[in-house]
Amino acid sequence: MAVRTWSWTRIDGRNVLAVPTRTEIRLYDSDDFILLSRLAPSGHRSPVAFVRWSAFHGKLASLSAELLLVHAPQRDPSERGRVHFAPVCSFRLDAPVRALAFSRSADELLFCGPKAGVGKLNVRSQNQIEDQAQIIWETQMESCDLAKYSPSAFVFATLKMKETHVKVWRMHRTLGEPDANQRLERVETLTHPDPVVYFSWKPSTTQWHSALETDGTRKAQWFEPARILLTCTVAKTVRIWTESGEGGGGVSFMPVLVFEPTYLIDNVRWVMSKNRNISDENFQVVNDVHDKHADWISGVDQSGILRLWRVVGLLSSTPSVEETTLQIKVNGEDDRQQRGKPANVAVRLGEVCVMAYFSQNYFGMPSKLGIVLQRADHIMMSFHVAVA
């Protein structure tokens, strides 16, 4: 599995792309690839392998062969109103790390690797100088290639490539105890008939965080973002899982929707929202919201055409999915260039990320799409699409 080196997020109204270049990190406005800032020196002595933004708070994690660094925006006292990115904590590596992911509050960083196991770091910034990140919890008994937090820092998932299952880990700590006292309560195995190639949690649109959040063994409460997991297998089958029940066996994930796109699709992803901090999550106690609320999934077919699926009622008893008519050519080749070429000669895409702006509170089609991708030949491209 090729690891995506870059990372994309939205900060203060800008779509900001972080791209490592040897030992420095460059920040671009992805709308026009204008260079916004350079993290040079970045703090790394060897080439940066990849970077990852937090969804909120503007923290940026970067990884090199021997060091993990977290940068965060800081006010520059010498220039009024100016903000720069400064390293706030670091962690020396004893084994190669394969994946990194921030918790929603950006206070924790999840890491994993074939020999590093799985662990959680405290990456809170305690002061203005660089701190050594502290390990909150870890186990070296698990070998995996991908790890991601759910909207709760006490529930995360892991995947080892070529395996037919995703593991969901549920943590717990007693209210009032320090984070370092959290413990693993249960590991749940989500089994598939074919090897799993990708998974991701439905992105949260709000950065609400409560110190009372301490228990991943119970189902997400009505005022918390639901924990919804998307998985995709080598057979291109997409499954969406939600939490179910809290009976004698406890809460568990169940597949509520299984579908196979009519085209051979790569890069099946949740569409991220530009509507940050507009809370459609805090009032989902009403059944009508469950029935009508739409989520969006994107994918790219073998001809380089991005397609969009509308998923309705994931938290209802009758969820459904439908493919929209939206088709966007995103591989950089027009039909004349591709005409006459076999399908397997078309330019392949390495990774595609899609952001959408919704003007109707998530119930209608998105009005605008922003797309950033990297082709297999390492060319990066950005698209801005107004949806009629």
Show Cβ contacts of residue 10 under 8 Å, excluding neighbours closer than 6 positions. Answer: 16, 274, 276, 355
C-alpha to C-alpha distance for 137 and 132, rounded to whole angstroms:
15
According to the model, what pLDDT value does residue 332 have? Answer: 83
User: Quick check: is 122 in a domain?
Assistant: no
DSSP label at 215? B
How many CB atoms neighbour CB 283 within 10 A?
A: 10
Residue with tokens 């509308």: 310
In a domain, 376, yes or no: yes
Cβ(261)–Cβ(323) below 8 Å: yes
At residue 349, the 3 state secondary structure works out as strand
Residues 6+ apart with CB under 8 A from 276: 10, 56, 205, 206, 207
Structure confidence at residue 335 (pLDDT)? 54
Instruction: For Cα atoms 15, 158, 137, give the angle at the middle one, nearest 5 degrees.
Output: 95
Does a structural domain hold residue 129?
A: no
Q: Does any domain span residue 298?
A: yes
What gap in Å lies between CA 156 and CA 122, rounded to an integer? 16
The length of the chain is: 388
In a domain, 327, yes or no: yes
Q: What is the pLDDT of residue 277?
A: 46
Q: Specify if 366 maps to a domain.
A: yes
Average pLDDT, 10 consecutive residues per value, the chain (388 residues): 88 91 95 93 95 94 96 80 85 94 94 94 74 90 94 95 97 84 94 96 78 81 90 96 80 95 89 64 42 84 92 90 93 63 65 84 77 91 87
The domain in which residue 316 lies consists of 289-334+347-387
Q: Show contacts of 6-10: CB within 8 Å, 24+ apart.
A: 6/50, 6/51, 6/374, 6/380, 7/50, 7/51, 7/52, 7/53, 7/60, 8/53, 8/353, 8/355, 8/372, 9/53, 9/54, 9/55, 9/58, 10/274, 10/276, 10/355
According to the 3-state scheme, what is the secondary structure of 86-100? EEEEEEECCCCCCEE
What is the rounded end-to-end Cα distance, in angstroms, of the chain? 36
pLDDT of residue 285: 39
The number of domains in the chain is: 1
SS3 152: coil
Give the pLDDT confidence score for residue 288 in this predicted structure.
43
Residue 373 within any structural domain of the chain: yes
Q: What is the DSSP letter of 377?
A: T
User: Is 205:281 a contact under the CB 8 Å cutoff?
Assistant: yes
What six digits make up the tokens of 26? Answer: 């460059």
Is 25 inside a domain boundary?
Answer: no
